[in-house]
Structure 1
Amino acid sequence: MGNRASQIITETSTRSVIKGLTWRLVATFSTIIIAYLITGETKIALQIGGIEFVAKIAVYYLHERIWLRIPFGKKSLPASCEFEI
């Protein structure tokens, strides 16, 4: 049959980066709101959000790339079922 490598659907590192950035924007906004509600200080809330944004982008990217190497929950599809999203 077909080459096994052509049957596995995976993500590029660029896709992982874009997913990480969009999620971080949503998550950081909620962190800023929570920090503001706790401190009452806009400047402190923005600083906390900025630090959290940068740190968690790296952590998320590594998490995604590690999970791509784990076979759990992955299925091979026949070559005729391949498609792009």
Structure 2
Amino acid sequence: MAAFLSRTAVHARKRAIAKTLCYRVLMVTITVIVAWAVVGDVRAALNIGLVTNVVKTATYYGYERLWDHVSWGVVGG
């Protein structure tokens, strides 16, 4: 199990934050468009898009940081 986990992060935290924010902007846009198509109300669609994506952003960041400590599949090092 020691070879599977790494004590040092593969990616810098700043890189993980940048990746997270770029991805979430795209996902907020998609969520708002889909919600608007379903509910037909722009204000409700914005609320749905923002609330769900705040939760998803925090979840993705944590998930990304956990994977930074897994050495499986990382070439070099």
Match of 1:80 in 2: none
> Size of the alignment, in residue pairs?
70
User: Structure 2: which 5+ runs fail to align?
Assistant: 1-7
Match of 2:63 in 1: 63
Match of 1:32 in 2: 32
Worse-superposed segment, 33-42 or 50-59: 50-59
Identity across the alignment (%): 30
Q: CA RMSD in A?
A: 1.7
- How far apart are residue 25 of structure 1 and its match? 0.3
Residues 2-56 of structure 1: CA distance to partner in whole angstroms, max 9, x if unpaired?
A: xxxxxx8821111101110010000110000000000000010000011022111
Question: Under a length normalisation based on structure 2, what TM-score does the superposition of the two structures give?
Answer: 0.82
Question: Under a length normalisation based on structure 1, what TM-score does the superposition of the two structures give?
Answer: 0.75
Say whether the 8 Å CA contact 2:21–2:57 is kept in structure 1.
yes
User: Structure 1: which 5+ runs fail to align?
Assistant: 1-7, 78-85
Match of 1:54 in 2: 54
Please tell me the residue identity of whatever aligns with 1:34.
Answer: V
Please tell me the residue identity of whatever aligns with 1:40.
Answer: G
